[in-house]
Amino acid sequence: MAGRILTAETRKVTRFHELEEGFAIETVADVEPELEFAKALHNEGFHRTASGDRHVASIPAVVLNAWAIKRGVTFDAVMQDNRILKEFLNDPDHSHFRVDKGQV
């Protein structure tokens, strides 16, 4: 079932699905450009910002939100708690979003 489109953006679609026991909201996004961007920054050595801060990663919000939901927390909780964000960043499964590959 395709579901009703709630929002459609470049490389991202959110759909509403009616289910027998309720509903589901599904977001599908193409994150390939962000992966390529992070890889290019890493390969070119752009591990620091113009102000000298570490450029740790380039993570699409949709990816971080999906991970937060699986972990049982909100996107806001991830953004407000450095320990949770570090857990995402230090997970080898997410290394393809990393620009500076060092431990956080």
Distance CA 1, CA 56 (A): 39
Range 19-24, long-range pairs (CB < 8 A, 24+ positions): none
What are 29's two structure tokens?
């996004």
What are 57's two structure tokens?
């990663």
Distance CA 19, CA 25 (A): 10
pLDDT by residue for the chain (104 residues), tens only, comes to 578 998 898 888 989 999 999 999 988 899 999 999 999 999 998 888 888 888 899 999 999 999 999 999 999 999 999 999 999 999 999 999 999 988 88
Please give the radius of gyration of the chain, using alpha carbons only, rounded to the nearest integer.
Answer: 16
* pLDDT for 3: 84
User: Could you tell me the pTM of the whole model?
Assistant: 0.75
